[in-house]
């Protein structure tokens, strides 16, 4: 049975944030055995449980108050926030701090042979993305109408496959874009991993554990700068 008195931290199970998330928690002195394929791992030396899930599930787990802390990319968090808001919800969470990993940018990219002279080129175009709300927020501000094509993977093949005129996707080096005959033309959102907490009061014990962790995280990040 899950013990609710233990602090629950959600992190990505496997992917671009998982190694760094695990390293950060370990450097804060949390002894965890994450070797097993289990959803839950228990800290041996602190009253902490680690929940390992898909990154997309982390904002919801925090907003629904199911876990106390989460490590998540701001891109995924912001998209989840906008999605819930568009459904009429008023999701709440607290950002404790930005972390020093998970850097990436959400960018517009076009086929190499297509001209670009600013975002107005996107007027009326179909854009493939996994981040429809972040894209809409950006283009709405510029007064540009577009059609979206929601893809949760292989976004970069959409123009070649004739599914879209342009894409809006995460980029770190740009190599994937280039390999698909695309060029990055505009950054619409810069992201890093961040540590978030569910809203609402936590028990005194949990809150003082978080306070202790925050001091350690500060120290760990400062030492790596
Ligand atoms: P999951 O199986 O957990 O859903 P995923 O495939 O959605 O994983 P990853 O590719 O592991 O996600 O990326 C997780 C997060 O890592 C991204 O949302 C982003 O915040 C960050 N990230 C950093 N660099 C990149 C990059 N080059 N491409 C994609 N994401 C990146
Ligand atoms: Zn994901």
55 CA closest ligand 1 atom index: 3
98 ligand 1 Cβ < 6 A: no
Q: How far is the CA of 203 from the centre of ligand 1 (A)?
A: 32
Q: Which residues pair with 171 in a beta bridge?
A: 105
How confident is the model at residue 36, as a pLDDT?
Answer: 65
Tell me the residue ranges of DSSP E strands in 22-143.
40-42, 48-53, 69-73, 93-98, 104-111, 126-129
76 ligand 1 Cβ < 6 A: yes
Residue 209 CA neighbour count, 13 Å, CB half = 21
Residue 69, class by beta-carbon neighbours within 10 Å (0-12 exposed, 13-18 middle, 19+ buried)? buried
List pLDDT tens digits, range 186-216.
999 999 999 999 999 999 999 999 999 999 9
Q: How far is the CA of 205 from the centre of ligand 1 (A)?
A: 33
List pLDDT tens digits, range 30-54.
998 776 678 889 999 999 999 999 9
pLDDT, the chain, mean = 96
| Among protein residues, the one whose CA lies closest to atom 1 of ligand 1 | 54
8 A C-beta contact, residue 53 and residue 104: no
15 CA closest ligand 1 atom index: 11
* ipTM field: 0.96
Name every residue whose Cβ is closer than 8 Å to that of residue 14 and which is 6 or more positions away in sequence. Answer: none
How confident is the model at residue 33, as a pLDDT?
Answer: 76
pLDDT band, residue 141 (cuts 50/70/90): very high
Substitution candidate for ligand 1 out of 10, 13, 16 with most atoms within 8 A of CB? 16
- Reading across the β-sheet that carries 126-129, which strands appear in turn? 147-150, 126-129, 166-171, 104-111, 182-191
pLDDT band, residue 119 (cuts 50/70/90): very high
80 ligand 1 Cβ < 6 A: no
| Among protein residues, the one whose CA lies closest to atom 17 of ligand 1 | 73
Output the six-digit token pair for 59: 């904002």
72 CA closest ligand 1 atom index: 20
Substitution candidate for ligand 1 out of 54, 57, 77, 170 with most atoms within 8 A of CB? 170
Residue 167, classed as helix, strand or coil, is strand
151 ligand 1 Cβ < 6 A: no
Place of tokens 């930005």: 98
List pLDDT tens digits, range 167-182.
999 998 889 999 999 9
**Average pLDDT in the 74-80 region?**
98
Q: How far is the CA of 57 from the centre of ligand 2 (A)?
A: 8
| Among protein residues, the one whose CA lies closest to atom 30 of ligand 1 | 170
Please calculate the CA angle 78-209-26 and round it to the nearest 5 degrees.
75
Phi, psi of 101 (to 5 degrees): -150, 180
pLDDT band, residue 2 (cuts 50/70/90): low
Nearest to 127 by CA among 112, 142, 107: 107
**Average pLDDT in the 93-97 region?**
98
* H or E segment to which residue 59 belongs: helix 58-63
């Amino acid at each position: 049975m899950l013990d609710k008195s233990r602090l629950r931290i959600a992190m990505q199970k496997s992917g671009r944030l998982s190694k760094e998330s695990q390293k950060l928690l370990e450097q804060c002195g949390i002894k965890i055995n994450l070797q097993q394929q289990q959803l839950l791992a228990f800290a041996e030396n602190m009253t902490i449980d680690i929940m390992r899930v898909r990154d997309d599930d982390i904002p919801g787990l925090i907003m629904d108050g199911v876990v106390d802390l989460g490590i998540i990319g701001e891109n995924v968090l912001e998209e989840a926030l906008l999605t819930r808001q568009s459904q009429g919800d008023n999701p709440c969470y607290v950002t404790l701090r930005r972390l020093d990993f998970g850097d990436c940018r959400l960018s517009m990219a076009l086929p190499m042979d297509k001209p670009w002279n600013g975002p107005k080129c996107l007027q009326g175009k179909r854009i493939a993305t996994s981040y429809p709300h972040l894209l809409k927020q950006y283009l709405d501000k510029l007064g540009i109408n577009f059609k979206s094509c929601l893809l949760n993977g292989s976004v970069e093949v959409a123009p070649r496959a004739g599914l879209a005129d342009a894409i809006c996707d995460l980029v770190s080096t740009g190599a994937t874009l280039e390999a698909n005959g695309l060029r990055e033309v505009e950054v619409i959102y810069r992201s890093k991993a961040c540590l978030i907490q569910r809203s609402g009061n936590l028990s005194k014990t949990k809150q003082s554990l978080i306070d202790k962790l925050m001091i350690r995280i500060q120290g760990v990040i400062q030492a790596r700068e």
